[in-house]
Amino acid sequence: MTATPDARLTALARGLAAPRGFVEASLVDPAPTAIRLLGGVPAPEALPVEAIGRASAELWQDADAAATALRYSSPHGSAGLRNWIAKREGVDPHRIVMTNGGMHGLTLAVLTIVERGATVAVDDPVFPGFLWALEVATTRILPVPVVADGFDVEHLAARLAEGARIAAAYTVPDFHNPAQVSLSAEKRRGLVDLAERYGFYVIIDNPYRELRFAGKDQGVAPFNESDRAIHVNTFTKLLGPGWRVGWLVLPDHLVEPVIRLRGRLDVHSSSVTQAIVERLVTADDQWYDRLAGTATALYRHRAGVLVDALREHLPDAFEIQAPEGGLFLWPRLTDDDVDPAALFRRAVAAGVVYQQGEYFAADPGSGSAARHLRFSYSDRTPDELREAVRRLASAFRAGDVS
Amino acid sequence: MTATPDARLTALARGLAAPRGFVEASLVDPAPTAIRLLGGVPAPEALPVEAIGRASAELWQDADAAATALRYSSPHGSAGLRNWIAKREGVDPHRIVMTNGGMHGLTLAVLTIVERGATVAVDDPVFPGFLWALEVATTRILPVPVVADGFDVEHLAARLAEGARIAAAYTVPDFHNPAQVSLSAEKRRGLVDLAERYGFYVIIDNPYRELRFAGKDQGVAPFNESDRAIHVNTFTKLLGPGWRVGWLVLPDHLVEPVIRLRGRLDVHSSSVTQAIVERLVTADDQWYDRLAGTATALYRHRAGVLVDALREHLPDAFEIQAPEGGLFLWPRLTDDDVDPAALFRRAVAAGVVYQQGEYFAADPGSGSAARHLRFSYSDRTPDELREAVRRLASAFRAGDVS
């Protein structure tokens, strides 16, 4: 009569795959001296620890504010924080719902609009975290190539015209993870038009938006003005991943369903973290932009160091595009005879670790992602980046002689 | 071709009911001078704001600790905090998974072990929040009466013997919400035996456990020793709801599934809140028990004031049991001719608000919960509690003359 334990795991948790690839690379245990170019995480020195300390101290010294921070609050999120965000997003504060960071925003979107087993169009290459989030509803995906100006809207339009039906389309529009590129303004409008025409939602994952080095902002108005777009953002890249504070910009008709679901999942985001973040960003109207400016300058410099070092030490190994922003470089191996898995093993042996392109393939059959490497430069110093490239160069040379 | 927006809400969020009753009572807008006996929330003066301020200041002044708190951390949760909790729970730290508070623990449990549409046995009366959490998987419930020594295990055993099949059974074993009572040690063992025999899980919701005024601790070993029990707890009642930090004690075989699901939902609980809570509870081995002792003394006193005032001003109106702990009084109307809804309206008019018993009915047909009122005394001063009872007494008298 007793069921075996695993036979009882028949609920939502069933069928969630064990993390692999992408996460395993993060778990690779190379020499302690190895240089890791792995995660899209902010540089510790770019995080405003002193300002956080001051904001925290003010909070706990203010008896009323402290009492409020320790109480239950609304699943919708802190009104002060939502007002501040709404002004920047150019929308009514009602349409902002606070989340526990970007991944939470993605999962809330998926659980709200994706029926179990439905098909969702996704970037190819794709941020693997979205596929994990998507697994709570479906594993059926329609890979859409990411080209020089981002998600290939025409490709999707053709598939829809042929009869393909999707619940949603997912893309990272600014400084794509992993493919660096940004979606052009025209294609932003085109994607939203397609969603309105065919009745699906676009899930817009936008954590790197504030980190522009070069090029022109392609704008988020098409997303924020559409009834068919869910715009996901987070404080992770500027204030640190540890907070778990982010937000959704939702169409009006999705605000109540998302709040209702969200209230079920964990009631609301921490009132404490929201209170501290609210103090940080609202105390001085320019503070957040200054923070973004400082962080962006740092990342621009590091991206430049990495690109220069690759051009110096491995001049023919990669096709490289200088990043216009964000945290990633996505160089393509020029020599089709190079085995990326063997190169990775030699790189680990030489003391440098990165993400292999194959882990970002939405359509593993196409093989194109596997010809890329993903380097994250944000949390490595210039010296580390130069040394990482020297080690990578030695891994290439080891391949030549083996 | 465009679907209407609501027709697209076909995913998990579909079918989640609008909050009603229980929540509406919290939203009732009586005179600003009304005394609210509504929520099971800690008294602000029982929360350790000064200690929190000190722990926060230490965190942000310690560069390494600050950097760690701002980084991504494990979906499993802070190792230091899990070790501390594991020692208190008497289990291996691996079996502790940190959550965003008790409600999050309940929902993670439901999403992990309850198939959509399955039946779950629940307390009757029941904490309505659990029914909301359950809605993410099912609305099919088997109400089990809560009697003088808690969840009626014999009743459930009889239903199972008759052929009823359930995925899980839910109860609050210590200082039941709303029914005050605690589950006897013998019935704890009996419930777990039943779960092991029939292959379901017990979901044990235990937020009030540390708040004992009187009586003997009935122990949690049966839950923590069973492969069939998920033991849900939270720091909410002693450190404040605003943190959103709680934990699960899981059977070994559920640790990985819960972590995998949890990682999908929002990656991990805030590293910042976990770091502060860890500093608070681990800096001094006795601190948390002292905090619990102080809070418990405060709530014991308030419970006594409320019971005494009811006995003085409304000696015949209720059957009252003095609480042995927790945050609630669940008096039963003695006069079957009193209409609870009319009484509530008169009470609001007289300036006192409480939760009506009917909102806690798992089986509304039985009508027994509706004969009760739920008073929360934790966050009202003794003077407020006495005045609340005087107002309630006037509401009773208004009923006599109308």
User: Quick check: B268 and B74 in contact, CB under 8 A?
Assistant: yes
**What does the alpha-carbon distance between residue A270 and residue B236 come to, in Å, rounded to a whole number?**
11
* Nearest CB to B241; choose among A71, A113, A241: A71
Looking at CA atoms only, how far is residue A133 from chain B in angstroms? 5
A227 CB neighbours in chain B (<8 A) are 5
* Residue B78: per-residue pLDDT: 97
d(CA A81, CA B240): 21
Sign of CA dihedral A255, A260, A264, A269: positive
C-beta atoms of A244 and B266 within 8 A? yes
- Residue-wise pLDDT for A360-372, tens only, equals 999 888 889 999 9
Can you tell me the distance from the alpha carbon of A372 to that of A187, in angstroms, rounded to the nearest whole number?
24
Least CB-CB distance to B1: which of A1, A199, A201? A199
pLDDT at A12 over 90: no
Query: Which of B68, B113, B197 is closest, CB to CB, to A11?
Result: B113
How many Å lie between the alpha carbon of A271 and the closest alpha carbon of chain B?
5
Angle at B361 between CA B356 and CA B363, to 5 degrees: 155
A113/B9 Cβ within 8 A = yes
**Dist. CA B386–CA A260, nearest whole Å:** 36
Q: Does B241 sit within 8 Å of A1, measured CB to CB?
A: no
Does B132 contact A240 at a Cβ distance shorter than 8 Å?
no
Rounded CA-CA distance B183/A401 in Å is 72
Residue A388 is encoded by which pair of tokens?
């990482």
Nearest-by-CA chain A residue for B267: A103
Among the partner-chain residues B70, B115, B241, the one whose CB lies closest to the CB of A72 is: B241
Residue A99: list chain B partners with CB under 8 A: 266
Distance CA A137, CA A111 (A): 7
**Hey, what domains does chain A have and what are their CATH numbers?**
17-41+289-401 (3.90.1150.10), 50-285 (3.40.640.10)
Pairwise CB contact (< 8 Å): A227 & B111:
no
**Interface contact flag, B242 A13, Cβ < 8 Å:** no
What local confidence, expressed as pLDDT, does residue B7 receive? Answer: 37
- Residues with Cβ < 8 Å from B352, sequence gap 6 or more? B34, B35, B37, B388, B391, B392, B395
pLDDT tens across A135-187, in order? 999 999 999 999 999 999 999 999 999 999 999 999 999 999 999 999 999 99
Going by the DSSP 8-state scheme, the letter that residue A218 receives in this structure is -
Query: What pLDDT shows up at residue A162?
Result: 98
pLDDT in tens, A222-275: 999 999 999 999 999 999 999 999 999 999 999 999 999 999 899 999 999 999
Q: Cβ contact (<8 Å) for A16 and B260? A: yes
Residue B400 scores a pLDDT above 70: yes
Interface mutation target, options A194, A244, A253, chain B, most CBs of B under 10 Å: A244
CA distance B241 to chain A (A): 5
In terms of Cα–Cα distance, which of B86, B87, B110 is closest to B97? B86
- Write the CA distances from B387 to A110, B36, B237, B328, B390, integer angstroms: 49, 11, 25, 18, 5
| A113·B69 Cβ contact <8 A | no
Mean of the per-residue pLDDT values of chain B: 93
Q: Is A13 close to B258, i.e. CB distance below 8 A?
A: yes
Q: Which residues contact B110 (CB under 8 A, 6 or more apart)?
A: A11, B120, B133, B134, B136, B137, B168, B203
Tell me which residue in A18, A263, A270 faces B242 most closely, judged by beta carbons.
A270
pLDDT band at A11 (very low <50, low <70, confident <90, very high): low
Contact check, Cβ <8 Å, A53/B70:
no
Helix (H) or strand (E) holding A356: strand A352-356
- Report d(CA A227, CA A206) in Å as an integer: 18
Least confident of A380-384, B198-202, B226-230, B263-267: B263-267
Q: What is the mean pLDDT of residues B168-179?
A: 98
Helix (H, G, I), strand (E, B) or coil at A370: helix
% of chain A beyond a pLDDT of 70: 92
Determine if the peptide bond prior to B32 is cis (ω within 30°). no
Contacts of A248 in chain B (CB under 8 A): none
B265 and A104 within 8 Å at the Cβ level: the answer is yes
Q: Do B11 and A266 touch (CB under 8 A)?
A: no
Picking from A70, A132, A243, A247 by the largest number of B CB atoms within 10 A of its own CB, the best residue to mutate is A70
Alpha-carbon A218 to chain mean position: 18
How far apart are the C-alpha atoms of B117 and B110, rounded to whole Å? 12
Q: How many CB pairs under 8 A join A and B?
A: 268
Shortest distance, CA B200 to any CA of chain A (angstroms): 8
Q: So what's the pLDDT on residue B24?
A: 53
Residues of B in Cβ contact (< 8 Å) with A6? 253
Write out chain B residues lying below 8 Å of A260, CB-based: 13, 16, 18-19
Q: What pLDDT band is residue B374 in, cutting at 50, 70 and 90?
A: very high
Whether A243 and B70 lie within 8 Å, measured CB to CB: yes
pLDDT at position A6, please?
A: 40
Chain position carrying tokens 């009602």: A94
Look at residue A25 and tell me whether its pLDDT is greater than 60: no
Other beta carbons less than 10 A from residue A2's beta carbon: 14
Q: Cβ–Cβ of B57/A61 closer than 8 Å?
A: no
Q: Is the ipTM of this complex over 0.90?
A: yes
Side chain identity at residue A112, one-letter code: T
Reply yes or no on whether the pLDDT at B9 is more than 50.
no
Give the pLDDT score at B6.
Answer: 40
